[in-house]
Structure 1
């Protein structure tokens, strides 16, 4: 008899006997499941896919999390040190930086643009030669419980589906959707979820026909925003007309009902054709059996402004886009070169607005900073010591020290907030706390919530510093929240901008407050270098130690990348010198601990403490 039937029998018996008996039945575990959409028909030049996972217990795999990689089925796809994948991310609860957040219910989601070919470590990987897949697996474990493989299928290189990729106007879509309105594509128009960096998404319009210097598409999109008395605004059936010399127009059916009440609107337009935009078109290009033409710019006409009930003025920019139709490319399309065709309608890829970092768009970031390597080593090799991270900071394998008990790598501090003016002037607050505990030496030191302030090539680093000591220690406890901890010098730092992200690497850090560490270090002591990364919500920040935004596929292909954090010998010598006070030493006397002395140690020539 099954467990559930036994439970039913026991419960029935309890009712008969008048006793309250509730058998403990274990809930069926939810099996891990991964979905990828879309997984077929991908544009080789780049398609945005959405990978979702359910049933991934955050406490499973000892809480280490799960790996996600995209690329060919190489032998090291599950290895901790696996390299040269197009995408590589760690999925875990309490994610920081570029990691994928895993919620308490075991769900996660990640969107990324994948291509059919990429270059990593000097090798070109092509889906034509080695099919690509989305791999999900338990991180750093031989257990296969969470493993899944989802093949990705790209269209033949050079092919492009017929259709029009165009979103009308991004600010209009944003205005309606963010305000609680509705957007309903229908009759051949769909949301173009493959378009990168442009949520709310633009649209894909089905190809209908071409001829006499025009290409026609079908579909309609209806907007409502009742809170602002927009009862209906519908745009349908866009048509491109080529005028030669790269010029063109976009005509569409437009109808609306505005203001007043829903049953008695003040302004009404019956759907009818209007020349909505003047276009500037790029030269046509062959795409398999089709012709592809990019819309370089689109400007609202006077008639188009009127069709918008004067929400926008004539000459204002509309979205760019891309049209694809059957034929052979040659000179710029005109009435004599645009063929007539009745090819079946399909969808198309899209051209989208660029991702740009501005004071309003910056929404993410991280700080890579390990405080001081010699201090991490000192605690890491001690007996009974610990180094722990909490509240949004991750201990990475970057600059880790061999032979330590606790993890001794540098720290990736999570993003909290930012005031951004430019790449040379910003203030950004990070999350997290790292605690160094050395019971045998009577102390516990915490550094938390670092804040970086940068202007004119200089800066300051603030942090919460707390020192807890036990009886007999040579220093009283210290608590200094938000103390000005260090000075920053960006003169030799490498600043990389692009694709909506900013990376400032190799920032020189020197101690500016000896009191915060009970004078263990002197003012001017060289601390570890730091890297600050910031990004717009549409940007993909590089992984820890990567070469910066726009570095290309493979820059963050290791979940914990094997990166040299110390670029030169000068940085490698930032251990303790003759100016450093070691914390203190204790020796065992009888059954207790007796404080001997604070030791000032001078290392032998060539020796690093």
Structure 2
């Protein structure tokens, strides 16, 4: 296994006083001392959740334990490592930080204990590393693997160092138990200074401009790399501004009334779809009542919306026709998993809302279960050409929704995003069906099925156990007693609990 040699961090004796330095004054500090290319940094925090599906897996069968000042957010959330110290390179405008705190993920049922310490972030290399010790007892005798400065993920570094995209490495997959993690998207990474600068807030502001005036050549090179990432977030804003005229004329026709038609695109959760049709549940996914599913075990589209809207108040209530059924874990004609979602209803009020459905689990029907909390990208529900569109609406599983899924996922789990489009008049043209989480062009018709015995849509026959299952559950869960536990997790839980969910 490739293991990187530990790097030494050369910190100046002035680290104790460097806490007063904020990111905004680093350029000035480098300019005042020509021979000092590195400025010491202190009191930083790093927050990263590794990968949500990994946290769900460990939380389902084991535990996370933090130490040395590290913490975990509520609801099996992300981890925060503290007391980050390191250096800022004034020439390359990069940071190299090491953080305190440890993290242990452990599952006695699956025979692993993984310890992470000395977490580091190097913006020049664009990576997160850590010292890792893994003890594997799944095969009987303990087998220990250790590595220093193991690269866990590459990072798309931004100037603000907040919510940076990460990509897991092959080494991460090796230590975390699934080779298919290599190249997979990890959780976003945030690195911030915990304590604000002790210097007066007015002094850092003019410093960058003063530096550019005194040293024109370096400042030009400094500006280009640091400002480039900031061009991405504002990009969507001008689009809405330039279309203000046509949207205004469209919304003038009707700002309040009844919905004429509409579609809701939602995949529930990609890993759940893959699990149902995979080799463990060996089940199928069926849509009916006018609902469709995108090709390749993709997302669902529910149609024929009814409801009301008020664009002035940014409120929308819409119900949709169609149903989807998940069925698996068949034994002698009896299914351990038989879940139907129908009569989906979405509400938005100022950008926040709910997604509810009638839930039939193993023959027990509960109407109006609030499955998810919704959060739109914008509170604005202005219509364009008599159509209100809200794409990529974040959906978070509620406690009632968790019960509807047999507690297979904990409350707070991120579900597939929701795409909403509603027509305000009979002549309005709705966009094509489909949603994030699956390609468009569904199976159509009144009833269609994906999956079935012998079909492994959403999975493959190689690339490690994770790829084979078509789910985010790491490979060890499918071996021996662990495989039984996973089967129980999504199937027999329904059969044994038969809970009636509450709204």
Structure 2 length normalisation: TM-score?
A: 0.35
**In proportion to residue count, which structure has more helix?**
2
**In proportion to residue count, which structure has more strand?**
1
Specify which structure has the bigger relative contact order, considering alpha-carbon pairs within 8 angstroms and separated by 6 or more residues. Answer: 2
| Bigger Rg, structure 1 or 2 | 1
